[in-house]
Amino acid sequence: MPSKQIDQPLLILGTRTLAAEIADLASEVAGVHVAGFVENEDRARCEETLEGLPIHWIDDIAGMKDSHVAIGGLMTTHRGRFADQVDAIGMPFATLVHPTARISPTATLADGCIVSAGVIIGAHARLGRHVFVNRGALIGHHTEIGELTSLGPGVNICASCRIGERVYLGAGAIVVDHLGIGERSVIGAGALVLEDLPERVTAVGHPAHIIKRDIDGK
């Protein structure tokens, strides 16, 4: 399904290069007005601007919770801490979909999802909160993706897959049909996943094989 209309000014969580990329993406979505960025680690950043827009300290946006909406601007799956801070403030999250993406009307995108240019999402796919789908990625029909998962450019997840929460899939990774990947796992760029993978592992290669265990995501 396409994103719902974003009627309120948008704040992007993050102040690094990906945040600027998200602002660029948002500039091509009809009706979206980016009002600024939010920082939660280095307050000195708030003395600067990014893309000509103000940078707000996380605690200072509480007064905007009824007039603005937020979207993530970090690729790391640890962005969940930032999302939790905004949830505690009570500011709602938008869902941002680039106009060149094709999303099945039977697919479901939860709040906070970002779908970049050239993405295709198949029938009955389900994306949890704060899933980031970078440019040109493909998500097959009946695939479920857990919250805070990140898909790099050109990732191809085939049909009926189950991707856990906070998984990181590097650019060009391929996951074949009917497979599962456990939460907080990291799949290297260009990896070819041909079998189920457990939680909290790093897998790389062609075919993908596990090189680390008991990790905490990326």
Report pLDDT digits (tens) over 50-72.
999 999 999 999 999 999 999 99
Decide if 141 is catalytic: yes
Helix or strand (DSSP H, E) at 25 = helix 17-26
Q: How confident is the model at residue 4 (pLDDT cuts 50, 70, 90)?
A: low
Task: Give Cβ neighbours of residue 88 (< 8 Å, ≥ 6 apart).
Answer: none
- The model carries a pTM of 0.95
Side chain identity at residue 126, one-letter code: R
Report pLDDT digits (tens) over 69-104.
999 999 999 999 999 999 999 999 999 999 999 999
Report pLDDT digits (tens) over 146-194.
999 999 999 999 999 999 999 999 999 999 999 999 999 999 999 999 9
Q: How confident is the model at residue 6 (pLDDT cuts 50, 70, 90)?
A: confident
Instruction: Considering the chain, tell me which residue range(s) the CATH 3.40.50.720 domain(s) occupy.
Output: 10-89
Report pLDDT digits (tens) over 107-157.
999 999 999 999 999 999 999 999 999 999 999 999 999 999 999 999 999
The dihedral region occupied by 19, where left means phi > 0, alpha psi between -120 and 50, and beta the remainder, is alpha
| Residues 25, 147: Cα–Cα separation, whole Å | 21
What's the pLDDT score for residue 190? 98
* Residue 28 burial by Cβ neighbours in a 10 Å radius (0-12, 13-18, 19+): exposed
**Looking at 78, 124, 141, 142, which residue is catalytic?**
141
Percentage of the residues of the chain whose pLDDT score is greater than 90: 96
| Residues 95, 78: Cα–Cα separation, whole Å | 19
Task: Find the distance separating the first CA and the last CA of the chain, reported in whole Å.
Answer: 28
| Residues 163, 145: Cα–Cα separation, whole Å | 5
Radius of gyration of the chain (CA): 17
| Residues 74, 40: Cα–Cα separation, whole Å | 12
- 46 near 24, Cβ under 8 Å? no
Structure tokens at 216: 């905490």
SS3 209: strand
Domain 10-89: CATH superfamily is NAD(P)-binding Rossmann-like Domain (3.40.50.720)
DSSP one-letter code for 88: H
Architecture of domain 98-213: 3 Solenoid (2.160)
Structure tokens at 206: 């062609």
Instruction: Considering the chain, tell me which residue range(s) the CATH 2.160.10.10 domain(s) occupy.
Output: 98-213
Report pLDDT digits (tens) over 81-90.
999 999 999 9
Nearest Cα neighbor of 9 from 75, 45, 54, 41 is: 54
What's the pLDDT score for residue 5? 63
What's the pLDDT score for residue 7? 81
* Residue 126 burial by Cβ neighbours in a 10 Å radius (0-12, 13-18, 19+): middle
